[in-house]
């Protein structure tokens, strides 16, 4: 059999088994990445006996990593750093440092790994999975929640740190220690990055604008850019993966980065499947007995110690214990970046393949268990609420503020809450704003808006509120369980109160109505209804749309004065 036909057949066997295992994994609501790795483990005792070549698999794996990092780079626009927020920045950095120190100490002192191996282990444990967390939070419709935003912010910080570490490792080679980097290589790489970013700001926008007129040309240019920049970095002594990452970051400045990302994603997914299958191939079933104990101990650090670190730092920043718990449990696994860094460490000779095997098994354990924890996080919080009260500052409630009776209580001061609060002012009702974001409460206090820091999902906190006297309660909180608890509590304390809650789906809205809600706010549907009504009335009258536009701009300007954002100011200058 010719070599090319053999490769095709072996690839068909590998992908076929990966599909079957991943399908079963999906039934149990696990990330498909786990299915890829398990498929590799199952097939590893047999595939090489049938003449499979590791060379072609390694080549596909490198393509997968390169495309993954290219896509990651496309979403790491330098401007995004300004949007992360101070709290996410500090919490993310502190978590990385403390987890690394603890992971290093346990690996070196307890598990008897060498210094270099312990450094890699500490790094691997410090990062969490961007792909898996983003997918699970999105599935739960929680990307706009406070804990979702903080989690994504921390993940961005981790990704940025991981980029630096990847560059650090790729600038070394076998026999060169971490303390003696090749200065010429680093300077050349730094200069190349500066040149590329200058090109990204001043040259590429015009070129891409012309290319984007053809979707096929845009796709071809993106692939070409990724390969050329990766080759340049390889020429200057860095890894191909780092070149692909920098290529993505430079293109992220372009307004067409989202379109490029969507075009590249299918290619990335294919090669990424091979990468994770190869990770599984590296796990020899006969070796599991010798590494399982170490993998289990390292898993405990990611599953328990890392969440505790995050909850402590979140508490110090004044967040509620519920948000502290949700952020901590959401980030309780190791990252695909961790495995890429370890694979690169093996490639340059810093660590042994056995260590990569151990951390791959750790990844399987932590990703599997943390997935269930994230899916059922609200149920777990309800059962553990008394045990995690330590992770909340006692003075945040300020009970003296809630001795007064109010006509209306607004839960959640966000984009929707701003307009609702303005309506409450117009009907001259005494109102109180409740929010679990300490930054929002601080801003409202400066504006002398009656406000209280607290979490509506906390039954004890609800008991402290004057719900028995209130006439109308509005919740813009996007969380289903929180609104359900709010409805149940108010129906017992004050059944005559008008209760308005927010829902994401039709099913949620109908459940809220069954629980006694007077009205359910469905932003997606209401937005469409408002637009449909506006089109029906204005039709194609340009003057009518101009009037609506002016009203909308005035509303945005009013909000801008209260909570200034540079991006919005720039947009308003055009009017």
Nearest Cα neighbor of 234 from 246, 243, 221 is: 243
290 inside domain: yes
558 inside domain: no
559 inside domain: no
Distance, CA of 222 to CA of 266 (rounded, Å) = 13
Please identify, among 358, 384, 410, the residue that sits at the C-terminal boundary of a domain: 384
User: Do 359 and 441 share a domain, yes or no?
Assistant: no
198 inside domain: yes
DSSP bridge partners of 474: 410, 500
User: Do 376 and 433 share a domain, yes or no?
Assistant: no
User: Do 315 and 339 share a domain, yes or no?
Assistant: yes
Distance, CA of 351 to CA of 346 (rounded, Å) = 5
User: Do 348 and 427 share a domain, yes or no?
Assistant: no
390 inside domain: no
**Looking at residue 113, which CATH number applies to its domain?**
1.20.1530.20
**Looking at residue 505, which CATH number applies to its domain?**
3.40.50.720
Please identify, among 352, 384, 416, the residue that sits at the C-terminal boundary of a domain: 384
Please state the φ and ψ torsions of residue 501, each to the nearest 5 degrees. -125, 170
- Give, in order, the Cα–Cα distances in Å from 358 to each of 112, 114, 121, 361: 14, 15, 10, 5
Q: Please give the residue range of the domain that contains residue 65.
A: 3-384
User: Do 302 and 418 share a domain, yes or no?
Assistant: no
219 inside domain: yes
Cβ partners under 8 Å of residue 158, min gap 6: 92, 96, 126, 127, 128, 130, 335, 337
Distance, CA of 247 to CA of 241 (rounded, Å) = 10
User: Do 377 and 260 share a domain, yes or no?
Assistant: yes
3 state DSSP class of 238: coil
Estimate the crossing angle of helix 183-202 against helix 240-252, to 10 degrees: 30
274 inside domain: yes
Cβ partners under 8 Å of residue 54, min gap 6: 48, 281
- Tally the C-alpha atoms within 13 A of residue 74's C-alpha that lie toward its C-beta: 22
Residue 334 contacts residue 129 (beta carbons within 8 Å): yes
Nearest Cα neighbor of 509 from 497, 521, 498 is: 521
Residue 309 contacts residue 91 (beta carbons within 8 Å): no
| pLDDT tens, per residue, the chain with 575 residues | 566 777 777 778 778 888 888 888 888 777 777 787 788 777 776 666 666 666 666 777 777 777 777 877 777 766 666 666 678 888 999 999 999 999 999 999 999 999 999 999 999 999 998 877 877 787 777 776 778 888 888 988 888 888 788 877 776 654 444 444 455 555 666 677 788 878 877 888 888 888 877 878 888 888 899 888 888 888 877 778 778 888 888 888 777 777 777 777 777 777 767 777 776 776 766 777 778 999 999 999 999 999 999 999 988 887 888 888 989 999 999 987 888 889 888 888 889 888 988 998 898 889 888 888 888 887 888 788 777 776 666 554 444 445 567 888 999 887 677 778 778 777 777 888 988 877 788 888 888 888 888 878 777 788 778 888 888 999 988 888 888 989 988 988 888 899 999 988 888 888 999 888 999 888 777 777 777 777 888 877 888 888 888 887 777 676 666 544 444 444 444 44
User: Do 476 and 335 share a domain, yes or no?
Assistant: no
User: Do 68 and 199 share a domain, yes or no?
Assistant: yes
User: Do 59 and 115 share a domain, yes or no?
Assistant: yes
Please identify, among 384, 414, 438, the residue that sits at the C-terminal boundary of a domain: 384
Nearest Cα neighbor of 505 from 141, 133, 29, 135 is: 141
User: Do 28 and 125 share a domain, yes or no?
Assistant: yes
Distance, CA of 127 to CA of 301 (rounded, Å) = 12
User: Do 347 and 425 share a domain, yes or no?
Assistant: no
Nearest Cα neighbor of 100 from 165, 151, 163, 149 is: 165
Tell me: the pLDDT tens digits for 462-491?
877 888 888 899 998 888 888 898 998 898
Tokens of 158: 């981790």
User: Do 257 and 145 share a domain, yes or no?
Assistant: yes
Q: How far is CA 244 from the centre of its chain?
A: 21
Counting the structural domains of the chain, the total is 2
Pairing label, strands 498-502, 472-475:
parallel
Tally: H helices and E strands in the chain: 26, 6
DSSP-derived letter for residue 52 is: -
Tokens of 542: 């340009």
pLDDT on residue 115: 93
Q: What is the pTM assigned to this prediction?
A: 0.72
Angle, CA of 491, 374 and 314, to the nearest 5°: 85
59 inside domain: yes
Nearest Cα neighbor of 29 from 364, 375, 507, 378 is: 375
């Amino acid at each position: 059999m010719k070599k090319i036909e053999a490769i095709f057949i072996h690839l068909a066997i590998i992908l076929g088994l990966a599909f079957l295992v991943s399908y079963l994994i999906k039934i149990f609501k696990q990330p498909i990445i786990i299915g890829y790795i398990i498929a590799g483990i199952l097939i590893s005792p047999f595939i090489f006996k049938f003449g499979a070549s590791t060379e072609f698999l390694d080549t596909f794996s490198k393509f997968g990593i390169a495309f993954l990092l290219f896509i990651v780079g496309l979403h790491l626009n330098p401007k995004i750093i300004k949007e992360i927020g101070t709290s996410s920045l500090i919490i993310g950095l502190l978590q990385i440092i403390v987890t690394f120190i603890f992971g290093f100490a346990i690996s070196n002192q307890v598990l008897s790994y060498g210094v270099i191996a312990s450094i890699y282990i500490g790094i691997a444990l410090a990062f969490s999975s961007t792909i898996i967390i983003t997918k699970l939070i999105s599935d739960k419709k929680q990307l706009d929640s406070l804990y979702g935003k903080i989690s994504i912010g921390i993940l961005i910080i981790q990704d940025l740190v991981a980029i630096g570490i990847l560059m650090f490792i790729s600038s070394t080679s076998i026999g060169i220690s971490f303390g003696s980097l090749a200065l010429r290589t680093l300077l050349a790489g730094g200069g190349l990055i500066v040149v590329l970013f200058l090109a990204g700001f001043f040259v590429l926008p015009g070129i891409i604008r012309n290319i984007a007129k053809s979707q096929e040309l845009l796709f071809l240019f993106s692939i070409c850019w990724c390969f050329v920049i990766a080759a340049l970095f390889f020429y200057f002594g860095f890894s191909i993966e780092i070149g692909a990452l920098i290529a993505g970051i430079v293109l992220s400045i372009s307004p067409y980065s989202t379109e490029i990302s969507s075009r590249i994603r299918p290619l990335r997914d294919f090669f990424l499947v091979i990468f994770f299958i190869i990770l599984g191939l590296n796990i020899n079933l006969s070796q599991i007995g010798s590494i399982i104990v170490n993998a289990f101990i390292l898993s405990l650090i990611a599953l328990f110690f890392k969440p505790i670190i995050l909850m402590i730092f979140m508490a110090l920043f004044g967040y509620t214990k519920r948000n502290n718990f949700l952020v901590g449990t959401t980030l309780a696994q190791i990252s695909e970046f961790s495995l890429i860094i370890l694979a690169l460490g093996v490639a340059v000779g810093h660590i042994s393949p056995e260590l990569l095997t151990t951390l791959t098994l750790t990844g399987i354990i932590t990703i599997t268990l943390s997935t269930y924890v994230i899916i059922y996080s609200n149920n777990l919080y309800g059962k553990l609420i008394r045990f995690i009260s330590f992770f909340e500052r006692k003075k945040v409630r300020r009970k003296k503020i809630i001795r007064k009776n109010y006509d209306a209580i607004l839960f959640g001061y966000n984009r929707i809450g701003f307009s609702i609060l303005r309506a409450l002012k117009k009907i001259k009702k005494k109102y109180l704003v409740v929010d679990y974001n300490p930054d929002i409460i601080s801003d409202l206090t400066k504006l002398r808006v009656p406000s209280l820091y607290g979490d509506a999902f906390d039954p004890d906190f609800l008991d402290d509120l004057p719900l028995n006297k209130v006439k109308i309660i509005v919740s813009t909180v996007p969380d289903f369980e929180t609104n359900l608890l709010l409805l149940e509590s108010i129906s017992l304390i004050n059944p005559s109160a008008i209760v308005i809650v927010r829902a994401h789906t039709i099913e949620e809205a109908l459940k809220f109505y069954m629980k006694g809600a007077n009205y359910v706010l469905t932003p997606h549907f209401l937005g469409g209804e408002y637009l449909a009504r506006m089109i029906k009335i204005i039709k194609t009258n340009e003057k009518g749309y101009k009037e609506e536009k002016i009203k909308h701009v005035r509303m945005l300007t009013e909000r801008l004065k209260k909570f200034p954002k540079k991006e919005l100011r720039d947009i308003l200058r055009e009017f």
